[in-house]
Each structure stands twice: as C-alpha cells, then as structure tokens.
Amino acid sequence: MAVNFRITIHQNSENLHLALDGDFDGSSAYELLGTLERRCRFVSRAFIHTNGLRRIYPLGVSTFQNNLEALRDDRRMRLEFTGDHAKELAPEEGQLH
C-alpha cells in the first residue's frame, strides 16, 4: 500500500462514506476493495470521496476496476464517486448496481 494512503470511514443507516487520502496504487485499490467487501452487506449505497487523493497510479485504477465484479454477486450496494478524481476511479458505467 502507498505509505500515505488511508481511508476514513463514516457509516449511517443506509450509507457508507469512504474518504480516500494519499496516493492510490495497486495495494491501495485492494484495501478499498476489502473495505467495501466487509461493509457492503450493511448499506445500500457507498460514496467514494476522492478529493483527498494526490497521485493516482494506473495500476491502482485498473486493479480497482477489474476487481469490482466480485462485489456484484448478489449485493445491491450502489457505488457513487465524488470529488476531483471521481471520473478517474469510477468504472466506465460510473456506478456499481
């Protein structure tokens, strides 16, 4: 994981907010995917806030996007990306249903 990467988590009844901070590389992508996996059964919507990201490595983006499919199984969580780097991180369809 990028040494300076962290995820700040806030959850309320139906929503999960994940604020990303630091550099986003392949290991950071797996940390984000793991966080979503552990918490997705408790929420219907997850907001990924990207304003705190500094550097985004192509390997991090491809690792994240290529492994989102595993979260699609039978879960109904919707992903919404916000912030300056939302378009870089979001899959082409923009949201996970």
Q: What is the pLDDT of residues 24-58, one digit of tens each?
A: 999 999 999 999 998 887 788 999 999 999 999 99
Band of the pLDDT at 70, cuts 50, 70, 90?
A: confident
Query: What is the rounded CA–CA span in Å between residue 53 and residue 56?
Result: 7
pTM of the predicted protein model:
0.88
Q: Regarding predicted confidence, which is higher, 82 or 78? A: 82
Domain count across the chain: 1
Which CATH number is 48's domain given?
3.30.750.24
- Give a yes or no: residue 40 inside a domain: yes
Q: Regarding predicted confidence, which is higher, 62 or 70? A: 62
Q: CB burial class (10 A; 0-12, 13-18, 19+) of residue 64? A: buried
What is the secondary structure of 68-92 as a DSSP string? GGGG-SS---EEEEESTTHHHHS-T
| Percent above pLDDT 70 for the chain | 88
Query: What is the rounded CA–CA span in Å between residue 12 and residue 15?
Result: 5
Q: What is the pLDDT of residue 91?
A: 85
- Give a yes or no: residue 1 inside a domain: no
DSSP one-letter code for 42: G
- Domain of 81 in residue numbering reads as 6-89
